[in-house]
Structure 1
Amino acid sequence: MLLGLGTPSVAAAVRLVSSTVASAVVLHGKPPLDERVVAAARKSGAAVLLVDPSVPWSQLANVTQTLVNGGTRTGDLFGLADVIAGVVGGPVTIEDQQSRVLAYSYRQEDVDPVRVQTILGRRVPEEARRALDEFGVFTHLASSDEPIFVPKLTPQLGNRLVAAVRAGRELLGSVWVEVTGPVDAARSAALVDGARTAALHLLRSRASTDLERQAEADLVIRLLDQPESADVARLGLPSADLRVIAVQAHAGEGEHGAAVLAFQRATAGFGWSRPGRSALFGNVLYTIIPAADDAVAWVRSLVRELPAEATVLAGIGGPAEATQLPTSRQEADECLALSTGVPVVYDDAWAQVLLHRLAAVAEAGRLPTRGPISNILRHDAEYGTQYATTLRAWLTAQGDVRAAARELNVHPNTLRYRMQKMSEVTPLPLDDPDQRLAMAIALQITR
């Protein structure tokens, strides 16, 4: 990759590619590209990447270097898979705890359909995972370092030799070798050695990833609390059209394990390949995401990465500039409080958010304690009448007696009688639009 610095023109930078080993040119700028640049790119066969001018060159260089280094580390794990395959004698995959593929050996010819699906989908198919679970493979991996031979369980899932990848007592993943049948002790021992080496690779990768996650989380929290003191460009995000997503994940009474796992999944992979930037604050996962991205789809993809038994609640704040992220976070928190399993988006739920805020005001005792609604509620509580429900229906129907009666499943005359008796309990200024609005709000937040 060639950084186009110090060249007399953009087109000249693109033309440089033909005399170097670079395959792409990175330019500061915004679309559309000048026709001369497009022509030069086509002639040289170069890819042209446009980067927002607000992103410093130094940051871009760091991103490029991280990609190169990250590829080297992943390559080491792939190389290890090749070594294990050669010693044990069968195609290999190295997987994490959720059966997602981290690396696989180069030679995968004559493998069964499940292995093909596993590599193409980057994780073990759910049907195969259930069969392995029923056989007891995952229970064995959780408690033993000894390899386990798994015979052919289905027509699509052939023999496997499996060993746990462990650091101390912590299970990091597993190594899977497709074999023709049971293997001798020497090959089993070689697999154990390979699994131990894989553990070192995964620990090294995790240490680096943990530092990156912490740096990302610190920046996200600063943006959500004091955006004026944080640089959104350092996270690779635009300075406008952002949203905050608030997520809570539960998988047991009083446990935060699901929340931590959600944070790990949200920050998995190289940062600039992910749409959002995340931080775990208490038991809430906050993610800042460009508003142009589908926030609901992002939440659903996160849910798919979590255990099936996890309960996930999510609230999505409205669009905001970087300096308005605290507001979007508050909206996300309030939408989260309204969530019952389906992500709640502020754009669609602002009315419920408003009523939720007013309900909080009412619970704090900051609403008037006297007035027509208070009088009606006290009368209902004391005499068992249904005046509050009746008035709410009348106001919702905008004074249409027949529509309100249908809503309550009563005769229109019954509703008229109730309205008349209500006026004897307390003055009802129904001709005043402000009074009607205030009564409708008060009834809504006290129901």
Structure 2
Amino acid sequence: MVKLDRLITILGTYGARLVGSTADRTTELHSVALHDPVRPGTPVGDVFLAVGVPTLADALRLAQEAQAALLIVRTTEIPEPELPRAAGVALLVVEPSVSWSQVAGVVYGLVLEGRETEAGRGPADLSALADTIAAAVGGPVTIEDQLSRVMAYSTQQHEVDPARQDTILGRRVPDAVRTLFERQGVFTHLARSDEPLYVPASPEHGLHGRSVAAVRAGRELLGSLWVSCTAPLDEDKARILTDGARTVALHLLRWRVSADLERQVESELVIQLLEGDPDATAVAGKLGLPTSGLRVVALQAHTDAERNAGLLLAFERATTGFGWSRVGRSTLFGNTVYTVLPAGPAADWLRRLVTSLPGHLRIVAGISAECDVADLPAGRRESDECLALHESHGSTDAVCYDESWHRVLLQRLRSAAATGRIPARGPVARLAEHDAAHGTGYVPTLRAWLEAQGDPAAAAATLRVHQNTIRNRLRRISAAVPGLDLADPEQRLAMLIAMAVLG
């Protein structure tokens, strides 16, 4: 089960577009109907897949008969918005470059396997699929993502070369081998073609021969499927490799749906903690978080060209992997990624996350003080305040509350000063006006004396004047501001704070 709005949003990432719908997007979808042109009658379902339907008008008629809330068509035809409105269904138009098998995999995975994927169980076993393909083509197989990181590999290990061993142990293709592939145009071929490519052996890189096929969803390259072989594959095995790549693409799409649903559930629970949930302990338990020793990390990532692209990428990287394999739990709220995680690994986790993001992104981050689960709303405010220090101080390094609490305090006081008469119109402001009108240096003198804790000699050394000059100026300061008592410790503290706040 999934809501209509969620299904529309996810399919939109694969190029689907919504046309002329006034449907209630909170509608829950429980069933899928697939058009069968051979059998008479129309199946009933909440989502209708118009496979093989020749015209849009026919598809809309069949969707009405199926009592569907959502109609999905795969066409280049540009429909009039009034047509789906008149039919009373939401219409999603999918590009022809996305196959029906991929669309169906996503829809069935969301609508029928939603409960399973939200629980964290993936709908597909890539390792088992790798074993199946390896047995069919007669060679060890690896499935890799766009960055040459290993997602799965077959257990078949005969004739394993050193490059494959290093790839599996390091969970990614070694840099030297990846550079070789780039030089040979392998990645250019994968970006442009679905046909298998044979990569010859390279003994100096510990590499036997390879055949590779692109794993693609529509125009999007999801990864690659590799098989070890000493010569180019014959026609039958090449077809098996190509078909296997399509099957891998379907699995990866459903895997992505599973991860997306997991992110949604996780995000909502994290927001509950950050906003203050009465049963925060139970929420933390659902997320697998401890109830004490936590920090909140706030992160923003932007580019000049696309303001939200970097933020979405940061959220995806922060939530990559199943929940049990990640140290933190994250949400995307407004223009900020918030992550709640144990205090100990917070700084290292943030450093790894920033390193994994593209270098052209502008990244700023703030880390709260250590807190219990009930204090996470305060932790979020602290991380936001640390984040705000980037603008006022121009720093690009992560700001941690533990080292910057005094700057946070002064920032709070600046905000308070901007909303009231004190300290913005107190004695410090009046002394500043006197300095501007008469060319005196009362404010620097008073500040040096206060920072020296009332020691005229230390203040004189700071200002490079005689200490008698300090004493004379202090008498004039008291005369210039009636009611100012420099012997009062509370007034001295207040003035020192006011000077720090007002700069």
Q: 1:234 aligns with which of 259, 283, 286?
A: 286
The question of 1:397 aligning with 2:452 is answered yes
Q: Please give the per-residue CA displacement for 1:196-245, whole angstroms capped at 9, x wherever unaligned.
A: 11111111111122112111111111222241166322222333443322
Q: Which residue in the other structure is 1:162 paired with?
A: 212
Cα displacement string for residues 102-134 of structure 1 (whole angstroms, at most 9, x for unaligned residues): 101223455454433331122334555455556
After superposition, the Cα gap between the structure-2 partners of 1:208 and 1:425, relative to the gap in structure 1 and judged at 3 Å, is: same
Cα distance in 1 for partners of 2:494, 2:203 equals 66
Change (3 A) 1:405 1:190: farther
Identity across matched positions, percent: 53
What are the Cα deviations for residues 233-263 of structure 1, in whole angstroms up to 9, with x where unaligned?
2222333443322222234444222322222
What TM-score do you get using the length of structure 2 for normalisation?
0.65
1:322 to 339, 362, 373: 373
Matched, 1:97 2:146: yes
Identify the match of residue 208 of structure 1 among 234, 245, 258: 258
- Determine if contact 1:318/1:328 at 8 Å carries over to the other structure: yes
Q: Following the alignment from structure 1 to structure 2, what is the Cα–Cα distance between the partners of residues 178 and 235?
A: 41
Q: Which of 374, 378, 383 is 1:332 aligned to? A: 383
Partner SS for 1:227: coil
Q: 1:329 to 1:441 in 2, by over 3 A?
A: same
Query: In structure 1, how many angstroms separate the alpha carbons of the residues matched to 2:437 and 2:270?
Result: 52
* Equivalent residue number for residue 354 of structure 1: 409
Question: Which of the residues 245, 248, 270 maps onto 1:220?
Answer: 270
Select between 193-202 and 147-156 the one with higher mean Cα deviation: 147-156
Q: Do the aligned residues in 1 keep the contact of 2:211 with 2:226 (CA within 8 Å)? A: yes
Amino acid at match of 1:162: V
Consecutive unaligned residues in structure 1, runs of 5 or more: 1-61
Cα distance change of structure 1 residues 110 and 349 upon mapping to structure 2, 3 Å threshold: farther
CA distance in 2, matches of 1:421, 1:160: 87
- Given that 1:390 and 1:415 are in contact with CA atoms closer than 8 Å, whether structure 2 keeps it comes out as no
SS at 2:327 equivalent: coil
Aligned to 2:297: 245
* CA-to-aligned-CA distance 1:360-419 (integer Å, 9 cap, x gap): 2234455344232112333455677665444433322323445445555x3446973766
Distance 1:183 1:217, change over 3 A: same
Moved more, 262-271 or 417-426: 417-426
Q: Contact 1:397/1:404 (CA < 8 Å) preserved in 2? A: yes
With over 3 angstroms needed to count, the CA separation of the structure-2 counterparts of 1:83 and 1:387, relative to structure 1, is farther
Q: CA deviation at 1:355?
A: 0.9
CA contact (8 A) 1:112 1:156 kept: no
Give yes or no for the alignment of 1:274 onto 2:326: yes
Deviation of 1:183 (Å): 5.1
What's the offset of the Cα at 1:88?
A: 4.8
Cα pair distance change 1:426/1:142, threshold 3 Å? farther
Relative to structure 1, the CA distance from residue 369 to residue 322 in structure 2 (aligned partners, 3 Å threshold; closer, same or farther) is closer
Partner of 1:122: 171
Q: Residue 86 of structure 1: CA displacement?
A: 4.4
Q: For residues 6-405 of structure 1, what are the structure 2 equivalents within 5 Å?
A: 69-70=121-122, 73=124, 76-88=125-137, 90-108=139-157, 110-126=159-175, 128-129=177-178, 132-133=181-182, 137-150=186-199, 155-156=204-205, 158=207, 160-180=210-230, 187-228=237-278, 231-232=282-283, 233-291=285-343, 293-339=344-390, 340-364=395-419, 367-379=422-434, 387-404=442-459
Q: Is the 8 A contact 1:222 1:229 kept in 2?
A: no
Is the alpha carbon distance of 1:384 and 1:321 closer, same or farther for their aligned partners in structure 2, counting shifts above 3 Å? same
3-state secondary structure, aligned to 1:155: helix
**Contact 2:139–2:227 under 8 Å retained in 1:** yes
In structure 2, what is the Cα distance between the partners aligned to 1:134 and 1:117?
A: 20
Q: Is the 8 A contact 2:418 2:424 kept in 1?
A: no
Structure 2 unaligned blocks of 5 or more: 1-114
TM-score between the two structures when normalised by the length of structure 1 = 0.72
CA distance in 2, matches of 1:139, 1:392: 65
How many residues get paired?
A: 379
Letter aligned with residue 499 of structure 2: L
Whether the 8 Å CA contact 1:165–1:173 is kept in 2: the answer is yes
CA contact (8 A) 1:216 1:277 kept: yes
Flag the 1:391–1:92 CA change in 2: closer, same or farther, 3 A. farther
- Give the Å deviation of 1:180: 4.0
Question: Does the 8 Å contact 2:295/2:340 carry over to 1?
Answer: yes
> Is the 1:401–1:415 contact (alpha carbons within 8 Å) kept by the matching residues of 2?
no
How far apart are residue 286 of structure 1 and its match? 1.5
